[in-house]
Amino acid sequence: MLSGSRSWLQCSRCLGHSLRTAARPSFARVRYQSSSSTPSESFTQISPILLRRARAVAAERDQLSAANAENYDVTVAKKIGELSPVCTALKDWEDAQNSLNELTALLHDPSSDAELRTLAQSDIDSTVSSLPALTSRLRTSLIPPHPFANMPCMIEIHPGAGGSEASLFAQTLLDMYRAFCARMRWPTTLASYTPDESVPEDAMTDALLEINAPGSYDLLRTEAGVHRVQRVPSTEKKGRTHTSAVSVLVLPNLPETGGDDLDYENPESDYYIAPQDVRSETMRARGAGGQHVNKTDSAVRLTHIPSGIVISMQESRSQHKNREKAWQLLRSKLAQIRREQREAEVINLRRSVMGGVARTGREDKVRTYNYSQNRVTDHRSGKESSNLDAVLGGGHELEDLMDSVREWMSENEVRGLLAEEELRAKMSDSNEPGKK
């Protein structure tokens, strides 16, 4: 079931139930049938390593709060706010554990009358049933927040392998995300769109959808990757199923000017772009668009020379607005790439401890939409939906798939966090005098 070294928890009177607790798990659960066993020990247990980390965070928050009470500092106050969710989750978990210990002592106290014992047992059952959720909340609270989590976002869609079928399905995905955002009451803007004129039906070669809602990045980042569709094209005369692919990229929608943590002027910042690294060109816009198309040099193309990223923008009649939007998109793409590079470094560190870490990148297949079977399968969380139309309609079924991926991401983050803490503990032990 679980990999790593073994540690054993056993029931004192009934089932000997063993669980391995190492790199992957951060808790073990053992259910006792005997009423004399200790409930606080028999249900969800959090890894001592993660519990130690949570208590260290709580101690740090208390120290910062005491210091800030004497000499208030905005930066310190922000740090206190970032640590508070861990402290709240830890307190709730410890309160439940302490309550179980007290109730168990009352239940086994010979001087307690029958009615009191009945009440104690009822409270024990209620508290025990809350422990899995409290433990899960404590574990996930230790995950550092994603730096883009509270930002609005942009979804970039490109057809991949599959020819016209890929172009058609790319349009379907764009419609799906627009419908989802409408249901969430998130304002959207189609910042860039190029139709596929070689296909008679609605199809596209690329699109950039802006979602102007803070926090939308955190939910929609689950959509990044390759989406695969399996269906029989309308032009297929032999009824054969074709497989096509569409690439979806989710980017943070950065403001035009920096501020707070977005330092556009600091060369060490993820958001910094050296002006000499960008080649800027202007040209005449192409395609449908009225009298200004092909008459004014309103289109802008930026090339980031070190990375080779090219951004073209021609949606506005104003060259100035196109340039602003192109710079905004370029900054978002580079910030995302730099973030992914650091995540890759962390993944490599974790592999040294865990022997492998689940991760998906922009080139990985994340979801399959099978029309003949009316099924959508997410390949990360393993969750399936048997209501293809509801998913493509941006309904609750799509949100359920997103939530399952968020849970999958959180579980992998917790596993990685545990691996890092174990590695730090080993390194600390090896550095102690007298130890090799």
Is 324 part of any domain?
yes
Domain co-membership, 127 together with 163: no
Task: Give the closest residue to 364 by CA, choosing from 260, 222, 238, 268.
Answer: 222
Q: How many separate domains does the chain show? A: 2
**Which tens digit of pLDDT belongs to each residue from 159-208?**
988 788 999 999 999 999 999 999 999 999 999 899 998 888 889 999 99
Q: Are residues 133 and 279 in the same domain?
A: no
Confidence tier at 9 by pLDDT (50, 70, 90): very low
> Of 89-98, 102-111, 206-215, which range is least confident?
102-111
What the block records as the tokens of 430 is 């090896």
H-type alpha helices, 32-148: 39-42, 48-70, 74-107, 114-141
The answer as to whether 242 is a domain residue is: yes
Say how far apart CA 436 and CA 432 lie, in whole Å. Answer: 8
User: Where a domain ends, among 74, 107, 141?
Assistant: 141
Q: pLDDT band for position 59 (50/70/90)? A: very high
47-51, 163-167, 175-179, 415-419: segment of lowest average pLDDT: 415-419
Instruction: Report CA 76 to chain centroid distance, whole Å.
Output: 26
d(CA 34, CA 79): 45
Both tokens of 125, joined, read 């059952």
Q: Looking at the domain assignment, is residue 323 inside a domain?
A: yes
Residue 21, in any domain of the structure: no
Which residue among 141, 171, 198 closes a domain? 141
Mean pLDDT value across residues 15-22: 30
Whether residue 210 is contained in a domain is answered as yes
Angle between the N-to-C axes of helices 396-431 and 164-184, in degrees from 0 to 180, rounded to the nearest 10 = 90
Residue 397 lies in a domain: no
- Closest C-alpha to 325, from 190, 221, 204: 190
CA distances from 57 to 67, 92, 124, 425 (A): 15, 15, 29, 17
Q: How many CB atoms lie within 10 A of CB 69?
A: 8
- One domain, residues 158 and 296: yes
Q: Are residues 105 and 234 in the same domain?
A: no
262 and 157 co-located in one domain:
yes
Q: Which domain holds residue 197?
A: 153-352+361-373
- Under 8 Å CB-to-CB from 409, ≥6 apart: which residues? 222, 380
* Secondary structure (3-state) at 370: strand
How many angstroms separate the Cα of 309 from the Cα of each of 277, 319, 332, 354? 11, 20, 12, 34
Query: Are residues 176 and 209 in contact, defined by beta-carbon separation less than 8 angstroms?
Result: no
